[in-house]
Structure 1
């Protein structure tokens, strides 16, 4: 079952990538208080994720923050080494937090996993975005066509904030 507005974020232990290395985090604790934006991508360094989805959030980070959002987090079914490298490559360190869901446990718990085995990618995250307040989903956006990041993009989040 897919998570929906009004639902609480599930508690999964993941790795938060940073320049100082990986930090173990509980998703329940990470999103427990305040207002956050979480967006999910099929994979770090993939074309749409790197050229469209992530850059929109990096470019609009200040505008999102000005609307009361304390943290912007991206999650992908990649390991923390890849997520840290992607943060550096994208110039997003210190702007966006990079959450590594290496085994896909979190996106599976959200009901936002997708089987991309036919493309040689295995189980990954659907492309999505959400607004979370005090651990509860307030808005959920998913359903982008392959190669698109409009429904789940930063512009949509700004409209909802």
Structure 2
């Protein structure tokens, strides 16, 4: 069963780009003692993700953080180099670009989608959640579109 409101985020190692290259980060540490907005996209540099989803969080980052959010994290089943390049291309300085290169995080949350027919492999579903000290307070999954997981929807829920 997919992660639900009231569940804890699983602790596992993923990657972010650091000053000297890829760095391992533990999701337990990213969420411990913090209020976090986490959103996932099916793929970096894809049309909906690049034109609407990530840009919404870039534009509204200050408003989201003003509501008491410590971190905004974007994750995707992409490697750390792609996530870093995409974040830079989108001016996402206020957003942690969390690489789930093997899809392990998406699988642990049970929020994957099979896009092998489109030559994309197993990807993350599109979702957004509010996480408080590692516990999911709100989870919005989009089966189509970006309405439920948009920055505007999450901002209104904070």
The normalised TM-score by structure 2 is 0.97
Work out the CA distance in 2 between the residues paired with 1:18 and 1:87.
13
- CA-to-partner distance for each residue in 1:114-156, whole Å, 9 max, x for gaps? 11111110000000000000000000000241xx211111011
2:143 is the counterpart of 1:140: no
Cα RMSD for the two superposed structures: 1.0
Shift of 1:20: 4.2
User: Aligned residues, how many?
Assistant: 158
The answer for the alignment partner of 1:120 in structure 2 is 119
Is the partner of 2:53 in helix, strand or coil? helix
CA 1:19–1:42: 2 relative to 1, 3 Å:
farther
Work out the CA distance in 1 between the residues paired with 2:132 and 2:18.
24
The answer for the alignment partner of 1:79 in structure 2 is 79
Work out the CA distance in 2 between the residues paired with 1:109 and 1:36.
18
Shift of 1:21: 2.3
Work out the CA distance in 1 between the residues paired with 2:19 and 2:119.
29
Work out the CA distance in 2 between the residues paired with 1:57 and 1:103.
24
The normalised TM-score by structure 1 is 0.95
Counterpart of 1:155 (choices 128, 145, 152) is: 152
Shift of 1:102: 0.3
Work out the CA distance in 1 between the residues paired with 2:52 and 2:84.
18
The answer for the alignment partner of 1:7 in structure 2 is 7
Work out the CA distance in 2 between the residues paired with 1:121 and 1:85.
19
Shift of 1:55: 0.3
Work out the CA distance in 1 between the residues paired with 2:59 and 2:137.
23
The answer for the alignment partner of 2:63 in structure 1 is 63
Asked whether the equivalents of residues 15 and 24 of structure 1 are also in contact (C-alpha less than 8 Å), the reply is yes
Which ranges of structure 2 fall in alignment gaps of 5 or more residues?
Answer: none
